Amino acid sequence: MKPPAFDYVVADSVEMAAAALAEAGSDAKIIAGGQSLVPMLNFRLLRPSVLVDINRIAGLAGIAETGNAIRVGALTRHYQLETSPVVARHLPVLSCAMTHVAHLAIRNRGTIGGSLSHADPAAELPMMALLLGAELDIASTSGKRTVAARDFLLGALTVDLAAGDIVTEIALPKLPPNTGWGFEEVARRSGDFALAAMAVTLTASDGAIAQARIALTGVGPTASRAAEAEALLVGHALEPRLTSRVIGAVRAAIEPATDLHASSDYRRHLAGVLTGRALAAAWRRAGESIA
Amino acid sequence: MREAQRFQFVSSDRRVREDRRFVAGQGRFAADIALPNTKHVALVTSPHPAARIVAVDKTSALAMPGTHYVLDGRELAEASLVLMAGLDTPNVPRRPLAAGVARYSGEWVAAVVADTRALAEDAAEQVYIDYEPLPHVLDAEVALSAGAPLVHPAHGSNVLLDRTFVWGDVERDFADSPHRLAFRVKWGRSSTIPLETFTVTASFDPWRDMLDVWASIQMPKFPDQIAVALKMPASSVRVHHDVDVGGSYGVKRGIKHAVLAGYLAKRLNMPIRLIEDRLENMRGGDAHGPERSFDVEIAFDAAGVIRSMKMRALDNMGAYCGRSALQLGKPIGAIVGPYRMRSVQYRAIAVTTNKTVQEAVRGFGQAPTNYAIERAIEEVAGRLSLDPIEVRRRNFIRAEEFPYTIPSGSAYDSGDYHAVVEKTLARSDYTALRAERDKWRARGLLAGIGIAACLEPSGGNASFEALLNPQNTTTTWMESCRIMIDTTGSITATVHTTSSGQGHETMVATVVGEVLEIDPDRIRIVRPDSLSSLPGNSPVGSRMAIMLGGAAFHAAQKLKARLIAIAAHDLGIPPERAVYRAGDVSDRADAKRLRGWQELVTIAHRNFHRLPPDTEPGLSVSHIMQVPTGGTLPTPDGRVHMYPCFAFEFHLLLLTIDPELGKPEIRRYFVGHDCGTVINPKIVRGMTLGGIAHGIGAALLEEFAYNEEGQLIAQSLMDYLLPSSHEVPVIEIVEHVTPSPHTVLGQKGSGESGYLGAPAAIANGINDALRPLGIKVDSLPIRIAALGDMIAAARDRNG
């Protein structure tokens, strides 16, 4: 469990990192927190010729509030999101989700940009990016671009990053007023990757749901939104028969994998149960926010 | 019955002296041994569960930078003897590297030596092995069946052991009983997972003809086994006992590692270090635990009193067998648990399969058997609609019946099972606990109370060796201690084996201090190397408090007697008139006539003219301790007294299961524990708490799972799930002391405590929670997904 030999470049600016990545071609990897990358190197599942270390790039970490969004630097550590008062005020569902990301030691080191770029099928952050409609700023030697999370996450461990691209910042729109949220996750142990996790926001207006968002992880090749289920909710108040139909729509929309820890059927079952619980919590909170 | 004693140092809540260096990160482990010019080993492993090794091409590997050598199994097999087997199975040869045939996925096939471990791994990728895959077998029942692929064709079958013992008139007791029931349960393949993987450094000095070995071992007769395998005189193998071991609970046997490293050190004349990485450890470290299925039949009366039991235990050994098959033998020493049964039939079967090799794991096979016995009690209670605690009470051996000889020949030393149960029920407020269960049920959760009572046989004499292997006539399993007083009056006592965290230093200092009435903190403990050691074994089988503690006690008594004799002679009084107090000796008739500690030391070391006749100069005494109550061979019908002491534990817990998720949560946990006199309470509590955490893992999380292709799919700690602090609840220990009549202070073993009953208690608790649904779980570990599926299916059926 020693990594294969690689060259190591410490970048002190995004430009320098982009140049180093461009020079190495498709054979380079960015190392930030290293919480997924280093085990993969040690198992020799990855054999990059160059590691570009971005940990010392100034200004790449931090959380800022700008009008309608929270902007998070790619090098921000998980615990910073978890404990941020700004996030807690505007995106409480994210604060909750972050407590489910692995263990404290990992949250101290792992980064937001790293987790999104890695896109583990059972990780929380890709799901939260989808739920919240995040946009990712991406830099390379050929310039900058901005990509919506739904276009960024392509499949299992696959994202819209070309060789030489670096995620630099993530913009998370604040939740609208009168929005309640729910987050539910089941893992075999506390801190493990989710067997299934669901996050919901419901925005209420005149006693009915004006906007519904449901995001899932652990139940498919990548995190996803349950668009059909969301559509069922809009225009209605939450009640048991509606919840059942939404659960049915969520279960119908997913094709979870079977592995050592859980069967596909169990994960589908869980996705439904957790949807019901997250919906109930979101609806309750939406009501409280109005009151 | 022996009364509990009061002591000066023993049983007081003193600091554990070893903890200081570990907490400060100052342990000295085998990997801290840094010899100049040390080379590092990486292993090439078989990707196939069964394959003929056609050719090994080392050319590219040897051309890699920093690479010194590639050793294949054929070379090592020609140069060494096979590793020791626990059973008489000469056609099941076990070697450090596969020779000719690889028999499990992950088996070590070649070893690469390079300047660093990373370079060795680079070169290991360049060793090209031509395999011809062979049919494989993974399941123990399949391995038993006709036509199954043979793991060792020369052995003629996959059966390593198949022996049926009948103790008492089982058939009559079954025929006479009004009630009978039968069930099958399975114990999954898990183990103890040490933080430190197995580590060995070996260095050969041809000018002194000496192989020095530093290893993270917990292995009886380790130096001798290395010497025999490498065809060296045992006096040329020096194992250093003064290394700390980073966890073991049985598995740190490392004989194949040490023979491999020793051979390379000698062959290359370079110090060799082999540190398993986690993958090598989990797949090829030969450290899996029992994987056992039980078919149990119980005969009982209308009151729930059990008369007889038939048990068939089938264990999946994996591809080879060291001592692991003997784990079917240890439970014979407590085959009826804490219960009175008139007769028992026990059939023990061990088979080879194409899985990783087993090693000893905490309890040496006792925990799985306790799980089966405790399930039997629950089944009887369920059949008769009796309270399961009441059924246990009716079957427990009573305090006044000790010593109590069970059908298989062991005489239990002492105990008061009823008292421990009552004490634990009182502490837990059992009535309130049941009310709490019912409250959770009313809220829509499944809730259950889990119960298990069991024994920890301790201080073993290894009689299972002779019982299961007629070639083996071992009737002693000694441990030793030497105490030396230097000319300045300082005290040094010795331990002649490694520690894997048992706290021997604290324990020996406490016992010697107790006898000599001297502060244990003033007593130095050292571990001589194997060539300077008195006879001993190792800290296995919950034996060190009994055996090392006993040796230290007797050695200290000898020292005290020597000091009294010297003083009496010098004072001109008969020894009976001499009074020893805290190192000083005075005349009972005149307390002012006194010889102080330092004066006695000076007489012993310097004043031969003042010593009693025929007294050796200096102050050094030693004691080699035989196992109390040990020393006899099994009878031809398979009865043997196996352990001197039997500690008792009673587990009581409350758990809930969210029925929609299937995830159990342990909410309350109590354990009543009686291991006789406790020498150091902190050490014993630590053992028990760790044992319960380990038991939670075995019951709910830990499993070396394989796919049908014979690949181990739990290859890292992401998939082999250890309980963390989140999964282990607060545990309340309820202490009780019934001293053993056979040990110097009344102590019994406790190294396996907690683990021996926790899996049974958790499984019983889950079944209590599931009872309203009419379903049961019958195998461990109980995965939440499986539980969720079962509950969902039952709810669908029940509407």
| Digit-coded pLDDT (tens) for B173-194 | 999 999 999 999 999 999 999 9
Nearest to B527 by CA among B18, B24, B8: B18
Cross-chain residue pair B278–A191, CB shorter than 8 Å? no
User: What average pLDDT does range B295-320 have in this prediction?
Assistant: 98
pLDDT for the residue numbered A280:
98
Q: Is A190 on the interface with B (CB under 8 A)?
A: yes
**Measured at the alpha carbon of residue B398, what is the angle toward residues B461 and B297, in degrees to the nearest 5?**
75
Taking an 8 Å cut-off on Cβ atoms, the answer to whether A273 and B660 are in contact is yes
Query: Which residue, among B125, B131, B118, has the nearest Cα to B60 in the 3D structure?
Result: B125
| Three-state DSSP state, B766 | helix
Query: Residue B1: its pLDDT value, please?
Result: 73
Q: Compute the distance between CA of residue B787 and CA of residue B422 in angstroms, rounded to an integer.
A: 32
Report pLDDT digits (tens) over B326-360: 999 999 999 999 999 999 999 999 999 999 999 99
Averaged confidence pLDDT in chain B: 97
Average pLDDT value for residue range B226-244:
97
Q: How far apart are the first and last CA of chain A?
A: 56
pLDDT tens string B695-740:
999 999 999 999 999 999 999 999 999 999 999 999 999 999 999 9
Helix ranges, B429-540 (H)? 430-442, 463-468, 504-516
Rounded to an integer, the average pLDDT of A130-140 is 98
> pLDDT tens across B602-655, in order?
999 999 999 999 999 999 999 999 999 999 999 988 999 999 999 999 999 999
- Region A197-218 average pLDDT: 97
Q: Testing the interface with B: which of A193, A243, A251, A266 to mutate, by most B Cβ within 10 A?
A: A266
Query: Are B604 and B483 spatial neighbours (Cβ–Cβ below 8 Å)?
Result: no
Compute the distance between CA of residue B505 and CA of residue B494 in angstroms, rounded to an integer. 9
DSSP string, B296-313: EEEEE-TT--EEEEEEEE
Beta bridge partners of A171: A71, A135
Chain A hits for B699, CB-CB cut-off 8 Å, are none
- pLDDT at residue B470 tops 90: no
Torsion of CA B609, B610, B615, B618, to 10 degrees: -90
Do residues B76 and B41 touch, judged by C-beta distance below 8 A?
no
Residue A282 has pLDDT above 70, yes or no: yes
Cβ contacts from A onto B, under 8 A = 66
Q: Measure the CA–CA gap between B52 and B648, rounded to whole angstroms.
A: 49
Widest pairwise Cα distance in chain A: 62
CA–CA separation, A100 and B128 (whole Å) = 43
SS3 B141: helix
The pLDDT assigned to B123 comes to: 98
B523-545 residue pLDDT tens = 999 999 999 999 999 999 999 99
* B132 strand-pairing partners: B52
Give B367→chain A minimum CA distance, Å: 23
Beta bridge partners of B320: none
The predicted pLDDT at position A289 comes to 77
Region A220-237 average pLDDT: 97
Out of A1, A192, A260, closest to residue B714 by CB: A260
Contacts of B726 in chain A (CB under 8 A): 189-191
R_g of chain A computed on alpha carbons: 19
pLDDT higher than 90, residue A291: no
Does the beta carbon of A263 lie under 8 angstroms from any beta carbon of chain B?
A: yes
Which pairing describes strands B272-275 and B39-45: parallel, antiparallel, or unpaired?
parallel
* Partners of residue A110 on adjacent β-strands: none
Structure tokens at A67: 């009008």
Question: Could you say which of A189, A260, A262 has the minimum Cβ distance to residue B724?
Answer: A189
DSSP label of A166: E
CB B720 within 8 A of CB B392: no
DSSP annotation of B619 reads: E
pLDDT in tens, B410-431: 999 999 999 999 999 999 999 9
Mean pLDDT of B251-280: 97
A49-77: pLDDT as tens digits: 999 999 999 999 999 999 999 999 999 99
- Local structure of B334: helix, strand or coil: helix
Between CA B181 and CA B379 the distance in angstroms is 8
- Confidence class for position A106, pLDDT limits 50, 70, 90: very high
Please report the sign of the dihedral spanned by the C-alpha atoms of residue A35, residue A41, residue A42, residue A44: positive
Residue B244 predicted with pLDDT over 90 = yes
Average pLDDT value for residue range B201-224: 97
The whole-angstrom distance between B95's CA and the closest CA on chain A is 24
CA nearest to B783 within chain A: A261
For the cut 90, the answer to whether the pLDDT of residue B250 exceeds it is yes
Select from B44, B115, B121, B713 the residue whose CB has the most chain A CBs within 10 Å, as the one to mutate to test that interface.
Answer: B121
Distance between CA atoms of residues A36 and A120, nearest Å: 9
Q: What are phi and psi of B340, to 5 degrees?
A: -85, 115
Inform me whether the C-beta atom of residue A43 falls under 8 Å from chain B C-beta atoms.
yes
Q: How far is CA B374 from the centre of its chain?
A: 21
User: Looking at the partner chain, which of B125, B721, B785 has a beta carbon nearest the beta carbon of A262?
Assistant: B785
Query: Phi, psi (5° rounding) for residue B669?
Result: -145, 120
Phi, psi values for residue B372, rounded to 5°: -65, -40
Residue B270's pLDDT is: 97
Average pLDDT over residues B355-368: 97
Contact across the interface for A2 and B727, Cβ inside 8 Å: no
Q: What is the pLDDT of residues B30-41, one digit of tens each?
A: 999 999 999 999
3-state SS, residue B385: coil
Tell me if B122 and A4 make a contact (CB, 8 A cut-off): yes
Interior CA angle at A279 toward A273 and A283, to 5°? 155
Residues of B with CB under 8 A from a CB of A: 117-118, 121-122, 125, 277-279, 660-663, 701, 705, 713-714, 716, 718-719, 721, 723-724, 726-727, 783-785, 788-789, 792
What does the alpha-carbon distance between residue B642 and residue B460 come to, in Å, rounded to a whole number?
6
Query: Tell me, what's the pLDDT at B652?
Result: 98
Distance between CA atoms of B417 and B420, rounded to whole angstroms? 5
Phi and psi at residue B720, in whole multiples of 5°? -90, 110
Q: Cα separation of B649 and B647, whole Å?
A: 7
Burial of B4 (0-12, 13-18, 19+ CB in 10 A): middle
ipTM for this model: 0.95
Question: In degrees rounded to 5, what are phi and psi of residue B798?
Answer: -75, -5
Beta bridge partners of B298: B181, B309
pLDDT per residue as tens digits for the range B585-596: 999 999 999 999
**Nearest one of B310, B307, B297 to B166, comparing CA atoms:** B310
Q: What is d(CA B784, CA B665) in angstroms, rounded to the nearest whole number? A: 11
Average pLDDT over residues B158-165: 97
| Residues of B in Cβ contact (< 8 Å) with A5 | 118, 122
Cα A112 from Cα B680, distance rounded (Å): 48
